[in-house]
Amino acid sequence: MSVVNVLKQADIFDELTNTQLELIASICSERHYQAGDIIFEENTPGDELYVIANGEVEIQVDPSLVGKDIGAGAHTIATLRRGQSFGEVSLVDQGVRSAGARCSQQDTRLIVIPRDKLMLLCDTYSQLGYRLMRNLAADLAMKIRHTDLQVREQLTWTHGNK
């Protein structure tokens, strides 16, 4: 599957023209991972966005990194598949990763988009930049709502068992 076709499947590239998708594809690279491979770790610098071309990726948080010892290491908070993206927060700010990413399926192929080159495209082609940032905001809002729901469920479960 071509890089443009993979990008077409990702919500954050919704409503971009073929020409805009080809511009983005021109700055992409591909990486291949096997089950168990770490793509990046929580609390490390991030400057890339990833789109899953094939396979499966787990997004994980480690409560011990914030001083909470609630069990064995990292906990999977989301499992992502073809067409889904992750690492978007690094497009918005240049802080550290808020979660880690681990490959959970053999022969996983990721499309990797460097932040600096993507921001240059957004600056150069304002319509592309506007659409991408609008889609990125919608994607992050959906993920925040999902996380908020998980927190509420956890609080309800925790307080309901006391």
Express each pLDDT in 68-95 by its tens digit: 555 567 788 889 999 999 998 878 887 8
Pull the structure tokens for residue 4.
């443009």
Q: Provide long-range contacts, Cβ within 8 A and 24+ apart, for 89-94.
A: 89/46, 89/140, 90/46, 90/47, 90/48, 90/49, 90/115, 91/49, 91/115, 91/118, 91/119, 91/136, 92/136, 92/140, 94/45, 94/46, 94/47
Amino acid at residue number 55: G
The residue extents of the domains of the chain are 3-160
Place of tokens 């069990």: 71
Cα-Cα-Cα-Cα dihedral of 139, 40, 32, 107, to 10°?
A: -80
Rg value, the chain, Cα:
17
Q: What is the pTM of this model?
A: 0.87
Gap between the Cα atoms of 34 and 21, Å rounded: 27
**Can you tell me the distance from the alpha carbon of 47 to that of 44, in angstroms, rounded to the nearest whole number?**
10
Q: Could you say which of 3.40.640.10, 3.30.70.100, 2.60.120.10, 3.10.350.10 is the CATH number of the domain covering 3-160? A: 2.60.120.10
Whether residue 2 is predicted with pLDDT greater than 60 in this model: the reply is: yes
pLDDT tens readout for residues 15-42: 999 999 999 999 999 999 999 999 999 9
Look at residue 62 and tell me whether its pLDDT is greater than 60.
Answer: yes
List strand residue ranges (DSSP E) for 1-148, in order: 29-33, 38-40, 48-54, 56-61, 75-81, 85-86, 100-103, 108-114
Secondary structure (3-state) at 109: strand
